[in-house]
Amino acid sequence: MKRVIQMFIAVLAAAALCMYATARINHLQGYSSGNTLTIYNWGDYIDPDLITAFEEETGIKVIYETYESNEAMLTKIAHGGHSFDIAVPSDYTISRMIEQNMLIPLDHSLIPNLKYIDERFLDLSFDPGNKYSIPYFWGTVGIAYNREMLEGKEITSWNDLWDESLRNQILLVDGAREVIGMALNSLGYSLNETDPEKLLEAQQKLFDLVPNVRAIVGDEIKMLLSTEEAAVGIVWSGEAGAILDENPNLDYVIPTEGSNIWFDNMVIPVTARNVEAAHKFINFMLDPENAAQNTLYVGYSTPNWAAMEYLPEELINDERFYPGREITDKLELYENLGKHNQAYYNELFLEFKMHRK
C-alpha cells in the first residue's frame, strides 16, 4: 500500500510540474488566461488567416476547437468542464440555449460593427433583439443536380425528386429536419409541422422516394456529387457553391414549394472566461473587409451588407446564393420543436432509413 501511495504522489507531482511548465511557457509567450480566447466552431468554418490577424491586432491568443453537430456542441457545453468564450450554433439551437440559460447577454455597445448586418437578418424569432446572438453566415437548403447526367432535365421543385427517371440517383443529407422537412414542403406543409398525421404522411411520401435514393450521407456528399457518383443531392447552399466550383455541370436551386433559410450565429456561452475578448472577436469578424475575406474562404453567404463591396459582383449577383427578399420572405426558419417533437422527427427519420434496407 505504501508503494502505491508513493507512486500516486509521484504522478501528482509530475502532473503539477507539467501544468506549471505549460503556464510558464504561456507566460513567457505573453499569454495567460486573461488574454486567451477559446472558440468552439464548426470544422473549416473560418479563414485561419483571420485568427492570426486577430491575435496580432489584439495580443489575444486564440484556441480553436471544432464540433460536427449542434447537438454535440450543446452536450459539451451543458456538461461543463470546458470553458468556451465563443460558439457558433444554428438558429433553432440558440432558442434552446436561451431556454436553458446557457448564453450570456451581449453588450451591443462593444459591437459597433453590428451596424453592418442586413436588417433582414436581425431581430429574428429565435433571438428577438439579438440579445444573445449575432449572425455569422446564412444560407438555404436546396437541390444540387447535374444537368449532363440528367440529359438536360431541369429540376425546380421538391416534387421533381419523385420522378422515376431519377432511380438510384439521389443523395440525401443525414439530417431529420432536412429530409422530413423536404417531404413536408413537397406536400405544402410547414417545415415545423408537429401534427402527427401530417408527419406520418410525409414519412409515407419518403417511403415512396426510396427507389430514387442512392445513399444517405454526411460531408462526403460534396465529393460524391462533384465526382458524379450521383446526379442529385439535397445540400446546404454553401456546400452547393463549393460543389459547383468543382464541377461546372452542376446547378443549385431553391425549390418552388419553399425551403429552409438558416443562420449560424456567434454567441457567448455561460462557460466564457473572457467575455471582453469575446466581444472584441465578434466585432472583429463583423468588420466588412474581414467578413468578405471569411466569406471567400468558407463559401457561405454573408449577412454583412457592407462586405458586399469587397466581394466579386458575379457572386453577390448570383440569386442562387444571395436570393432577394421576394424569395427569402417565403422561406422558413427551423423552430425549436421541443424535446418531444424533435424525438418524434428523429424516430420517423430512423424508420425511413431502416425502410431503405
- Is residue 2's pLDDT more than 50? no
pLDDT (tens digit, 9 = 90+) per residue, 293-308? Answer: 999 999 899 999 999 9
pLDDT (tens digit, 9 = 90+) per residue, 141-196? Answer: 999 999 999 998 999 999 999 999 999 999 999 989 999 999 999 999 999 999 99
Q: d(Cα 223, Cα 162) in Å, to the nearest integer?
A: 23
pLDDT recorded at residue 100: 93
Instruction: Give me the percent of the chain exceeding a pLDDT of 90.
Output: 79
**CA 200 to chain CA centroid, nearest Å:** 27
- For residue 179, give the C-alpha cell: 429530409
Region label for 152, one of left (φ > 0), alpha (ψ between -120 and 50) or beta (otherwise): left
- For residue 121, give the C-alpha cell: 437578418
- Is residue 351's pLDDT more than 60? yes
Q: d(Cα 201, Cα 208) in Å, to the nearest integer?
A: 11
Q: What is the mean pLDDT of residues 132-139?
A: 98
Q: What is the mean pLDDT of residues 265-287?
A: 97
Q: What mean pLDDT is reported for the chain? A: 90
Q: What is the mean pLDDT of residues 201-217?
A: 97
Please check whether residue 265 is in contact with residue 135, taking contact to mean a CB–CB distance below 8 angstroms: yes
- Is residue 122's pLDDT more than 50? yes
Q: Give residue 356's pLDDT band: very low, low, confident or very high (50, 70, 90).
A: confident
pLDDT (tens digit, 9 = 90+) per residue, 228-261? Answer: 999 999 999 988 988 999 999 999 999 999 999 9
Q: What is the mean pLDDT of residues 112-116?
A: 98
pLDDT (tens digit, 9 = 90+) per residue, 3-16? Answer: 434 444 444 444 44
Q: Give residue 316's pLDDT band: very low, low, confident or very high (50, 70, 90).
A: very high
306 contacts: CB under 8 Å, gap ≥ 6: 116, 288, 291
**pTM for this model (two decimals):** 0.83
Which one, of 281, 258, 256, 242, lies nearest residue 38 by Cα? 281
pLDDT recorded at residue 24: 37
